[in-house]
A and B are shown apart, each in its own frame.
Chain A
Amino acid sequence: GAVVSQHPSWVICKSGTSVKIECRSLDFQATTMFWYRQFPKQSLMLMATSNEGSKATYEQGVEKDKFLINHASLTLSTLTVTSAHPEDSSFYICSAKVRGAPNTGELFFGEGSRLTVL
């Protein structure tokens, strides 16, 4: 099956610094990638949808200036948490749709990135 890789899998940073998380589709092209956030014992919450070569579409309540998303190529999307604060500590997961795949709605997920802001 298609593989989506996230890096780093775990990052600890100081409050006020910025952190970049990468999401790569390893063996397929992804025209659309999604970024989710999961709090403990909570569901996956969609943060934004990014399409290659265009600006990301953010869900209501998600600060686009805080969570910068770049989808510069068909295999890479990045999420940058700017000026991170402890409340940004969470598990961030990306997913991707295979370009040209049948409309199954199936998404391939990365392994997730655990962000801890001190």
Chain B
Amino acid sequence: DQQVKQNSPSLSVQEGRISILNCDYTNSMFDYFLWYKKYPAEGPTFLISISSIKDKNEDGRFTVFLNKSAKHLSLHIVPSQPGDSAVYFCAASEGSQGNLIFGKGTKLSVKP
């Protein structure tokens, strides 16, 4: 049973618009969440994280929102750029040192 779910395998957005990537989790013990970005034939790179004591974390164009009651988090990218086109993985762990459990990823395509 998947503990971290990214239900949208792909997302297409126009350049300059907002990209919203969603992630749901089932394990209520998860309290640390991360987003990774992955280009083809490369390893994932860390993007942004949030702990359960917060409901929002912002870093430049990237903002992660956490709704603990709904067990849902989302990554907002605004404005979206063609270089943002990649696969985005949501990951969760119990504590900041726990093993990461990854979702299946969402492929984002930003069109010029």
The residues of A with any CB-CB pair to B shorter than 8 Å are 4, 6, 9, 34, 36, 41-46, 49, 93, 95, 103-112, 114
Contact = CB atoms under 8 A, between A and B. Distances in A.
B46 A44 contact: no
- Size category of the B interface is 20 to 34
A31 B83 CA distance: 33
Contacts of A107: 46, 100
A111 B97 contact: no
Prevailing SS type, chain B contact patch: loop
Contacts of B97: 103, 105
15 contacts: A4-B43, A43-B2, A44-B89, A49-B99, A93-B44, A103-B96, A105-B98, A106-B46, A108-B46, A109-B43, A109-B44, A109-B45, A111-B42, A111-B43, A114-B41
B32 A105 contact: yes
Contact of A43 (B43, B49, B104): B104
A107 B100 CA distance: 9
A51 to B, nearest CB: 12
